[in-house]
Amino acid sequence: MSEVPDRVKRIIASYLDLDEAALQPGTSFAEDLNMDSLSVMELIIALEEEFSVEFDQESVSSVATVGDAIKAVEAALP
């Protein structure tokens, strides 16, 4: 599972056109990256497609940071 955080960061960095090094587990999508809820939802969809998973509503609503996104992907993987 150690590759999951790297892949999640790579997807987020690509989506936002940022350097992966700028993304830490505590990086907030809203506060640090100025993402609105629609942008976060689009990112979640990109993560679901990349990992071939589907997040439940509870997971989606709890994704506020890079670390949350990593945990949601790990929890959704078989």
Look at phi and psi of residue 16 and say left if phi exceeds 0, alpha if psi is from -120 to 50, else beta: alpha
Give the max Cα distance, the chain: 32
Q: What is the pLDDT of residues 58-73, one digit of tens each?
A: 888 999 999 999 999 9
Instruction: Kindly name the residue from 6, 17, 32, 36 that is annotated as catalytic.
Output: 36
Sign, CA torsion 63/67/73/75: negative
Strand, coil or helix: 4: helix
Q: What is the pLDDT of residues 1-59, one digit of tens each?
A: 469 999 999 999 999 999 999 999 999 999 999 999 999 999 999 999 999 999 988 88
What CATH class has 3-76? mainly alpha
Cα–Cα dist 13/8, whole Å: 9
Domain ranges across the chain: 3-76
The model scores a pTM over 0.85: yes
Q: Any catalytic annotation for residue 36?
A: yes
